[in-house]
Each structure stands twice: as C-alpha cells, then as structure tokens.
C-alpha cells in the first residue's frame, strides 16, 4: 500500500537533497540554518515519575547469588 503522506515527504526530501547535489554536509548546514532562522519555542513537560518497582534479578544475578 502506498501512503501518500510518506510519498510526499520523500518527494520533498529528494528535491531538497537535489539542490545540494546530494551532499550530506551541505544538506545538514542548510537544515541548521533553517532551524536557527525559524526555531519555535518547544513545550517542555516534566518527566513522569515511575513508581519504584522491584525488578526481578536476571539469570546472571541469580547464579551469582546462589554461589554466595
């Protein structure tokens, strides 16, 4: 199945790369310039706290505990 959104992204990515003769360094420099020129404030969310859970020991840990 062909996804039209994926195809459009690939088309524009190829057109952009073609402008720089597929030179990855030149493409990256251009993208960095755009990022600086059009940077938007990003939303930073506080990380979610995961409650402490006992993680079962791995087989290696079990074998070393058994030898003690």
Which H or E element spans position 5?
Answer: helix 4-19
pLDDT digits (tens, 9 = 90+) for 2-58: 899 999 999 999 999 999 999 999 998 998 888 788 776 556 678 777 777 676 666
Contact 62, 56 (CB under 8 A): no
* pTM recorded for the entire structure: 0.51
Contact 27, 17 (CB under 8 A): yes
Q: How many CB atoms lie within 10 A of CB 16?
A: 12
Instruction: Name the band, by pLDDT with cuts 50, 70 and 90, for residue 61.
Output: low
């Amino acid at each position: 199945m062909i996804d039209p959104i994926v195809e459009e992204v690939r088309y524009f990515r190829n057109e952009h790369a073609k402008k720089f003769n597929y030179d990855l360094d030149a493409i990256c420099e251009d993208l960095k310039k755009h990022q600086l020129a059009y940077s938007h404030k990003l939303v930073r969310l506080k990380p979610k706290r995961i409650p402490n859970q006992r993680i079962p020991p791995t087989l290696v840990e079990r074998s070393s505990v058994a030898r003690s």
